[in-house]
A and B are shown apart, each in its own frame.
Chain A
């Protein structure tokens, strides 16, 4: 039997999580204002890149400097990728900050009072958020992602989870402010506008495949969100770096000094997609198995299925673009954002404007 008391507790939890995330954002912002990170400024990194002629030759694969490599690259089975080479060069040219650390200049745990505060608040918010979702699940005695309200809460939770993991693993603490911003906005709308009281789900949704399928989707979406936010930052950083290189004014110098530079952001975004894409693939397969159990066909071109397929294709195109001459960098970044737009359309647009078998997600 659903329990209203537990349900109320879980609502209070969501509000607390939003507040904690909000304070964390504030602390991240203060960290940006008051602490000086030890990044080399992206502009100097770009200059350093120019200054490594030998390595640039490897990247360009010009066939004279290191012919063995260039030929290998042409073979496409193997060989230095120009984009990667320059990304790695950015590392090499940065001052050594602990052997092998990914983002040079940052240690594994957050440094500085504001950043530590921000990170602790983020973690606290995440714990409260997870507890909220868990209590709602207990209150309803089912997986707590059966409607739009719960789904949004779950994907933002996944995004924050990915943020904290990436912060530690890749020292990407600088991402905190930018990931929490859409999370707080979404959760605010979720709580204020979309709120749905607890309840059971329709029999068609009552299967352990829903748990597997939707959990996979949620994790993948969390990573896609992280990837999209990072890619937007990459595009800004790239613009900034090109302007600086061309001797133009860039209004973003303040923020960019706190970020590790375009190459590193690009790599971080790519990593997010490398994890997200198989997770999405898995979730689509699990969804097909579920559809087969529920409706007797594993694929029926229902609008939701169609848009999952479109999303999958565009992200596959992104992965291809990264390996296609002339498409790396900004063009690939736009492809990724297009994939994200398809993903969001599937979550919101299809529910609102196109009806199908999946219409359970109606608000």
Chain B
């Protein structure tokens, strides 16, 4: 790994001299810097740092309402932040720049390493160094039999422990634990896979929302959906052609104790067809239990009330008779706000804004509210307007807000209406009847072809991580020699991937076994190290060096 060479040997920071190096050398230098461990470290920090504003500022993709609120609260700052992608941090060019650099560095770092690992796994371990005593782990002891027998026995033992071996004159070197590297590479490659999966979802997936009142249905087309976020390469014809009807919605709440009013269960009964004319399926949609149609997932993400109204205008014609979804404004009692727009009423278009109270109460001072989320005592309070609703002035208008700038307040006493009660509007404007209520559910519809690949990548990363932490790559060297007193066995051990320790335990165990099998019954009066050093002079060190350099 080029990066490692640069860092560990401390040579990474030497720039190519201008006189001697051309543009190619500079490119090489830049590439080396990019793929160095130090750069990876800095980029990891940068990515972490860059994520922070995404958690502090409201984000367009998560909570557009909060972004709008931020604009009103900080009118001077907000446009500046918007310019800097402050409300879309995770889609910002500067955020992308960091992770693209990081993943380039990752690829540049990992792919050559994978290649080198594949190559070195087919090569035998290096020769045993001459001075085993200088290794982090080493020991020596006298052996019972002649040297070649001790060596053969040592070789057998190491082979039985599934080490890869290389033998030579009076030594054997053994290596084990390639899976450490394999795990590390798998982890890093899987991160690349994860990025690719996320990109796949971003290009070919889509997200949509639909508010559905009980009893109604819709088909999966861009126009029928309330909110539609297609991936970059998605067109309308790519949408799966299913349709869904919600036959019933039920919600139950905890009725006593300290958690009174907390939701206990939601259930949306759906019937659906995967394509027009196809067989009809039924599904009980609940939180955490999405419906899967044709690879698209449909989730229950919210609910509320849609009071039903009947409006008769001044001419006696019924101009509105339908449920109108109201949006909950507080959780404890699900008081919900909403508006009713009646553009076709004669002689004047009508508009109402008001509140639905599932379990209504009224205080002595006259303020009203809802004390429980279930519709135990459903009431509405409405304020009426007449005039121009401005629906056709070219500006898109939310169905949940009323533009009263060109309307007059209709004068009638405001009070809570029970189901079946009406307001008779003065001046022959007509009549509004609160006929009852239904419930609505909001559905999230998501299609993400990168989902499964992302899951597999994440699991592969985890497996790689565990593998690289569990397996340690280590080498054991044995040298056997004879001196005046008999046979001497020298053992040396070395590990690179063992920063957490533990190799010394393995080495001690191995030493114990070697001594039991090979050791002389006489005991352990180890000969002086210098004697051993002098006897081995085959220059294995130099060979090992040459070989490593050649890589």
Tell me the residues in window 109-127 of chain A with beta carbons closer than 8 Å to chain B beta carbons. none
A292 within 8 A of B: yes
Residue in B9, B135, B263, B289 whose CB lies within 8 Å of A202: B263
- Any B CB within 8 A of the CB of A168: no
Query: What string of 1s and 0s marks CB contacts (under 8 Å) between A270-309 and chain B?
Result: 1100110110011001001100111111111111001101
CB of B134 within 8 A of CB of A301, answer no
Q: How far is the CB of B115 from the nearest CB of chain A, in Å?
A: 11
Known interface pairs A296-B446, A306-B54, A313-B48; A320-B37 also in contact (CB < 8 Å) = yes
- Assuming the contacts A83-B499, A295-B299, A296-B444, asked whether A75 and B290 have C-beta atoms less than 8 A apart, the reply is no
> How many angstroms between the C-alpha atoms of A357 and B319 in the bound complex?
40
Q: Are A296 and B290 CB-contacts (below 8 A) given A100-B505, A323-B37?
A: yes
B446 in contact with A297 (CB, 8 Å)? yes
Whether A316 contacts B44 in the complex (CB less than 8 A), given A301-B90, A310-B51, comes out as yes
Q: Which of A81, A281, A325 contacts B496 (CB 8 A)?
A: A81
A residues less than 8 Å from B503 (CB atoms): 88
Assess the B544–A293 pair: CB atoms within 8 A. no
- How far, in whole Å, are A69 and B138 apart by their CA atoms in the complex? 14
Chain B, interface size category, equals 35 or more
B504 surroundings in chain A (CB, below 8 A): 88, 91-92, 100
Residues of A within 8 A of B207 (CB): 296-297
Inter-chain contacts of A281 with B (CB < 8 A): 461-462, 465
Question: Which of B160-168, B349-357, B452-460 has 4 or more CB atoms under 8 Å from chain A?
Answer: B452-460
Q: Does B204 contact A (CB under 8 A)?
A: no
- Closest Cβ of chain A to B63, distance in Å, is 9
Determine, out of B125-133, B214-222, B274-282, B387-395, the stretch whose residues face the partner at the interface.
Answer: B125-133
The answer to whether A267 and B287 touch across the interface, beta carbons within 8 angstroms, is no
The answer on a CB contact under 8 Å between A71 and B10 is no
**Nearest Cβ on chain B to A221's Cβ, whole angstroms:** 18
**Counting chain A CB atoms within 10 Å of each CB, which of B127, B135, B181, B501 scores highest?**
B501
Q: Per DSSP, are chain A's interface residues mostly helix, strand or loop, or mixed?
A: helix
Given A77-B1, A80-B136, A270-B500, residue A100 in contact with residue B509 (CB < 8 A): yes
Q: Would you call B301 an interface residue if the criterion is a C-beta within 8 Å of the partner chain's C-beta atoms?
A: yes
Query: Are A285 and B458 CB-contacts (below 8 A) given A54-B134, A78-B473, A301-B59?
Result: yes
How many A residues touch the partner, as a band? Answer: 35 or more
Q: B137: CB under 8 A from chain A?
A: yes
Of A54, A91, A292, A350, most B-chain CB atoms within 10 Å: A292
> Most B CB atoms within 10 A — which of A54, A68, A100, A282?
A68
Q: Once bound together, how far apart are the Cα atoms of A320 and B52, in whole Å?
A: 21
Binary interface encoding of chain A residues 81-98 relative to chain B, with 1 for a CB under 8 A from any of its CBs, else 0: 101110111011000000
Tell me if B4 and A74 are in contact (CB < 8 A). yes
A48 beta carbon closer than 8 Å to chain B: no
Known: A78-B473, A278-B469, A295-B444. A102 touches B287 (CB 8 A): no
Tell me the nearest residue of chain B to A322, going by C-beta: B499
Asked whether any CB of chain B lies closer than 8 Å to the CB of A206, the reply is yes
Contact of A200 with B262 in the complex, beta carbons under 8 Å: yes
A296 touches B297 (CB 8 A): yes
Nearest residue (CB) in A for B266 is: A203
Pair A325/B7 contact, Cβ less than 8 Å: yes
Q: Tell which of B56, B61, B287, B465 touches A294, judged by Cβ atoms closer than 8 Å.
A: B287
Complex Cα spacing A106 to B288, Å:
50
Any B CB within 8 A of the CB of A76 = yes
A88 to B494, CA, bound (A): 11
Verify A77–B41 contact, CB threshold 8 A.
Answer: no
Among B22-30, B252-260, B366-374, the stretch that binds chain A is B252-260
Cα-based distance from A277 to B257 in the complex (angstroms):
40
Q: Can you name 5 A-B pairs with beta carbons within 8 Å?
A: A71-B548, A80-B496, A88-B136, A282-B462, A296-B445
Where the two chains meet, the residues of A that have a C-beta atom closer than 8 Å to any C-beta of B are 2, 54-55, 57-58, 61, 65-81, 83-85, 87-89, 91-92, 99-100, 102, 197, 199-200, 202-204, 206-207, 209, 267, 270-271, 274-275, 277-278, 281-282, 285, 288-289, 292-303, 306-307, 309-310, 313-314, 316-317, 320-327, 342, 350, 354, 356
